[in-house]
Amino acid sequence: MSERSVLIREITSSPDTSIRAAIEQLSRTERRILLICDAAGTLLGTITDYDIRRSILSGLALDSPVGEVMATEPIVLSASLSKANIDAFMRRSRVHYVPILDAQRHVVDVCFLQDLVDAEVPEERVALVMAGGFGRRLMPYTEELPKPMLTVGGRPMLFIILDQIIAEGFTHIYVSVFYKSDVIVQAISQVERYREIVTLLHEREPLGTAGALALLPQRPTGPLLVINGDLVTQVPLQEMRRYHDREGNAVTIATKLEHYIVPYGVIEADNARVLGIREKPKLEFTVSIGAYMLEPEILEDLARGDRIDMPDLIDRALHVGKAVGCFPVHEYWVDVGTPEQYMRANADARNALG
């Protein structure tokens, strides 16, 4: 069996495959597309990371079949076309993947833009890691170390984030620092792989969770990733960037659905009259995980040295009618903000290592 045939088999699935299983299959293949075919091998549709996240936003359960969310009219090309014509189409249209079908709509090949060495146009990909906070809720751990330098699985959280950003192809990373900044400066300077890609932004006073954006030496030409320096997460940052572009958002917030069980009976009342009671109800909240994609225009009204938090910046965008969207995260995420969450992150790291 040829290498291409093996690849096609790896990225092929059936319409009754669950969304959860499709997520796992996409993660294994790293090709960002699944071909949904019937028993005869006829292409019925495709599934991408974007389709899955839109299905999550619509409230579809992860046990639902992918046949309910697949793209039923994907871009395809005929096997009768020459390779030169197929390559030319992909360069011109900038589509990332195209199934190649025979006359019976059986998949005979899949072409990927990333395989065309001269097709990828280098682009600026900039990230800002917010690492200047005091970490007061994590005392006494943060008496000697700034929060991003606390270790999870034996490595500083900041290094875990930086390595993830670098692995996802970002070309420049800014790190804003304030509290115990000398510790972060020294640590980064000792890691060779960070020296040419990481630039430190020094806050003279605390600027909030978004004020450091005004310290950027120049405005990015494309979407800017902003991520908190105290996260442990497997959120795919480039998929988030593609999702942001496809949605046409000015701001995209990485979000996760969290549940909270109220440990009491909750009374529904009208003044002194009880209308009903719910025993220990489970509430659902969509929460921000601390990662954002911002269009450069969002930075226009920021003044250097002004304190501003990210919710206020996003409220400004909403007030003037900018498109703000959610990027639903189904991947692992821990916001290391309390001693309990810090212990959980380290326990999860130990369990992952077996």
pLDDT of 59-117, one tens digit each? 899 999 999 999 999 999 999 998 889 888 888 887 888 899 999 899 888 888 877 76
The answer to whether 285 and 258 are in contact (CB under 8 A) is: yes
In this predicted structure, what is the pLDDT of residue 157?
A: 93
Measured between alpha carbons, how far is 146 from 134 in angstroms, rounded to an integer?
A: 7
Among 27-31, 35-39, 138-142, which stretch is predicted with the lowest mean pLDDT?
27-31
Q: What is the pLDDT of residues 199-244, one digit of tens each?
A: 999 999 989 999 999 999 998 989 999 999 988 898 999 999 999 9
Measured between alpha carbons, how far is 339 from 7 in angstroms, rounded to an integer?
A: 45
Measured between alpha carbons, how far is 188 from 195 in angstroms, rounded to an integer?
A: 7
CA angle, residues 54, 57, 59, in degrees to nearest 5: 115
3-state secondary structure of 329: coil
Measured between alpha carbons, how far is 339 from 150 in angstroms, rounded to an integer?
A: 11
| The domain defined by 3-115 carries CATH number 3.10.580.10 | yes
Question: CB neighbours of 347 closer than 8 A, spacing ≥ 6?
Answer: none
Residue ranges per structural domain of the chain: 3-115, 126-352
Instruction: Tell me which architecture the domain covering 126-352 has in CATH.
Output: Alpha-Beta Complex (3.90)
Length of the chain: 354
The structure tokens listed for 143 are 């008496």
The structure tokens listed for 174 are 């800014």
pLDDT(119) > 60: no
Mean per-residue pLDDT, 145-173: 92
Question: Sign of torsion, CA 62 63 67 68?
Answer: negative
Measured between alpha carbons, how far is 198 from 162 in angstroms, rounded to an integer?
A: 9
In this predicted structure, what is the pLDDT of residue 139?
A: 86
Q: Is the peptide bond before 146 cis (omega within 30 degrees of 0)?
A: no
Question: CB neighbours of 232 closer than 8 A, spacing ≥ 6?
Answer: 152, 157, 160, 332, 333, 334, 336, 345, 348, 349
Residue type (1 letter), 212:
A
DSSP-based helix, strand, coil % in the chain, nearest 5: 35, 30, 35
- Return the residue matching tokens 């996802």: 168
pLDDT above 90 as % of the chain:
51
Measured between alpha carbons, how far is 311 from 327 in angstroms, rounded to an integer?
A: 16
Measured between alpha carbons, how far is 256 from 285 in angstroms, rounded to an integer?
A: 8
In this predicted structure, what is the pLDDT of residue 349?
A: 86
In this predicted structure, what is the pLDDT of residue 351?
A: 83
The answer to whether 130 and 212 are in contact (CB under 8 A) is: yes
Residue type (1 letter), 326:
C
In this predicted structure, what is the pLDDT of residue 6?
A: 83
Measured between alpha carbons, how far is 212 from 124 in angstroms, rounded to an integer?
A: 20
